[in-house]
A and B are shown apart, each in its own frame.
Chain A
Amino acid sequence: MDATPPITAAAAPPAPRSLHRFANPGRFLRASGRVLPWLSAAAAGVLAAGVAWALAFSPPDWQQGETVRIMYVHVPMAWLAMGGYLALALASAAALVWRHPLADLLARELSPVGAVVTALCLATGSLWGRPMWGTWWVWDARLTSVLVLFFLWLGHAALVRAFDEPERGARAGAILALIGVVNLPIVKFSVDWWNTLHQPASVTRLGAPAMHVEMLYPLLVCALGFALAFAALVLARTRAAVMERRIRALELARARREERGMAA
């Protein structure tokens, strides 16, 4: 992990093999600029196919009827809320331990998107719970732990923007994100550890999914589409943040130059 790059005779510094190569903002902008159009197109294509399949061509549920179609938004949002938080924690660890400059920016741009996704998960769940369970909201372990996850996302987004020095905000946010990781297993296993109104997972790694394949496949396509869209959104935001930082640096340099010119 700490291997020094081999010294070559080339004029340009050699690119490190690890993720540290993207610490160079120019290299990151070039690479992500090539990837982003493809990522966005893939997201749009997969999402269009998945939504059409889920909303028009998949069967209703035998007892929930057409209401079950809320699942095709609710479940991908729940998976993204948790998977996105895991990405936030990894970025925060990379920022704290390896001081990767891009990790701070990625974490900063990740949290508003994560908060929106978690809010959509809660909202669609509420709209689903009213007709099926008979209530908009209950304080059971699953719903409460997801609400805590939403507050963690919001708290991170607010905290990293609350300091005059961006570095201090990023440090505080990274610590908050890493502390919040303990909530992830609680969200995931709340339905197994405690009795809850929310049902246990239908799609698990072990055992056959308790969902008919004609509903499972459109769900997986929708989940992939939303995940690609999430990634494209976060990548575009991170690119914008890198460019903003560059512009600020350039403006600062120009102001210094002008100041020096006036003093001379």
Chain B
Amino acid sequence: MTRKRRRLAILLLCGLGLGSATALTLAAFRDNLVFFLSPSDLAAKPPPADRAFRLGGLVEAGSVERATGADGRPTARFRVTDGAHAISVVYAGILPDLFREGQGVVTLGRLGPDGVFHASEVLARHDETYMPPEVADALKRAGHWDPSQGAAPPAGGWNTLSPRPGG
């Protein structure tokens, strides 16, 4: 019977060791595990010039200009913001369906000497909110939410709202 206890103790000890080793490793690699940098990260510690990296944040309200480039490809200029800082981005290509003002985006590219980020890829970043169109319309009508300004209000205020008008 003590052998079971001993096996359990060995197992727990190994688990403790493995867990702390993993935690220390992850803590050490924390800075290398970021998928994208925010505009504030860039302002605090700009990456070396000519190095490709990912820039993430929200598309600033009123900043999107769409045009057609000389080669017929659509181009877009917009600003990516995290509230504190904003960076101008230019991108030639097709934007994902979810791209809009106020939406989270992750762009891959290089920062030019003029401070403009030249993106070769733009991905839309969905947030964790899911709501029927009628509920989103009701929130917008009531002035509780402007999607171009950023995230939806706290979920407790809308997640049981009836999607039927007058309901």
Contacts and interface: CB of A to CB of B under 8 A. Distances in A.
A64 to B, nearest CB: 7
Contacts of B33: 141, 194
Contacts of B137: 62
A213 B160 contact: yes
Nearest to A141: B33
Interface stretch (A39-47, A129-137, A147-155, A252-260): A129-137
Interface in B1-39: 1, 4, 7-8, 11, 14-15, 18-19, 22, 26, 30, 33-36, 38
B97 A215 contact: no
Contacts of A138: 35, 123
Contact of B106 (A186, A197, A209, A216): A197
A140 B123 CA distance: 13
Interface in A192-219: 193-197, 199-202, 207-216
A71 B126 CA distance: 13
A135 to B, nearest CB: 6
Contacts of A194: 30, 33-35
Contact of B132 (A59, A96, A139): A59
A133 B96 contact: yes
B123 A133 contact: yes
A97 B12 CA distance: 10
Given A60-B132, A93-B11, A195 B34 contact: yes
B131 A132 contact: no
A178 B38 CA distance: 36
A127 to B, nearest CB: 14
B34 A212 contact: no
Contact of B123 (A96, A135, A182, A200): A135
Contacts of A212: 130-132, 135, 158-161, 163
Interface in A155-205: 178-179, 181-182, 186, 193-197, 199-202
Contacts of B4: 1-2, 97-98
B127 interface: yes
B137 to A, nearest CB: 8
Contacts of A196: 35
Interface in B123-140: 123-137
Interface in A1-49: 1-2
B82 to A, nearest CB: 10
Contacts of B38: 195
A193 B35 CA distance: 11
A207 B129 CA distance: 13
Nearest to A129: B123
A126 to B, nearest CB: 14
B72 interface: no
Contacts of B15: 178, 181
Interface of B: 1, 4, 7-8, 11, 14-15, 18-19, 22, 26, 30, 33-36, 38, 56, 95-98, 100, 106, 121-137, 147, 152, 154-156, 158-161, 163
Interface of A: 1-2, 59-64, 68, 71, 93, 96-98, 131-135, 138-141, 178-179, 181-182, 186, 193-197, 199-202, 207-216
26 contacts: A1-B4, A2-B4, A63-B100, A96-B11, A132-B124, A134-B121, A134-B124, A135-B121, A135-B123, A179-B18, A182-B18, A182-B19, A186-B26, A197-B36, A197-B123, A199-B127, A199-B128, A207-B155, A210-B130, A212-B159, A212-B160, A213-B160, A214-B132, A215-B130, A215-B132, A216-B159
